[in-house]
Amino acid sequence: MTAAKRRVVLITGASRGIGRAVADALASDWRVLVGGTRIETVQPVVDLLPDAASFVADLTDPMAVANAAAELDSLDAVVHSAGICEGGTIAQTSRQTWSRQFELNVVAVADLTRLLLPLLRASHGQVVTINSGAGFHAGAGNGSYSASKFALRAFTDALREEERGRLRVASIHPGRVDTDMQVALQARAGRPYTPEAYLRPESVAAAVKLALDATEDAVIESVAVRPSGLQ
What is the H or E stretch that residue 113 is in? helix 108-122
pLDDT tens track for 26-64: 999 999 999 999 999 999 999 999 999 999 999 999 999
Which pLDDT score, from 0 to 100, does residue 194 have? 74
| Span between the terminal Cα atoms of the chain, in Å | 48
Is this model's pTM higher than 0.85 or not?
yes
- How confident is the model at residue 140, as a pLDDT? 92
Q: In the prediction, which pLDDT does 114 show?
A: 98
Amino acid at 127: V
Please list the ranges in the chain whose pLDDT falls under 70: 1-4, 178, 180, 183-190, 193, 195, 197, 231
Asked if 35 contacts 82 with a C-beta cutoff of 8 angstroms, the reply is: yes
pLDDT value, residue 176: 85
Strand partners, 171: 129, 222
Q: What is the DSSP letter of 7?
A: E
CA 16/CA 12 separation, integer angstroms: 10
Domains within the chain, CATH numbers bracketed: 7-225 (3.40.50.720)
pLDDT at residue 5, as a whole number: 86
Tell me whether strands 168-174 and 222-225 are parallel, antiparallel or unpaired.
parallel
The pLDDT value recorded for residue 197 is 64
Q: What is the dihedral of CA 196, 202, 206, 212, to 10 degrees?
A: 150
Is residue 1 classed exposed, middle or buried when 0-12, 13-18 and 19+ CB atoms within 10 A define those classes?
A: exposed
Comparing CA positions, the residue from 124, 145, 126, 125 lying closest to residue 134 is 145
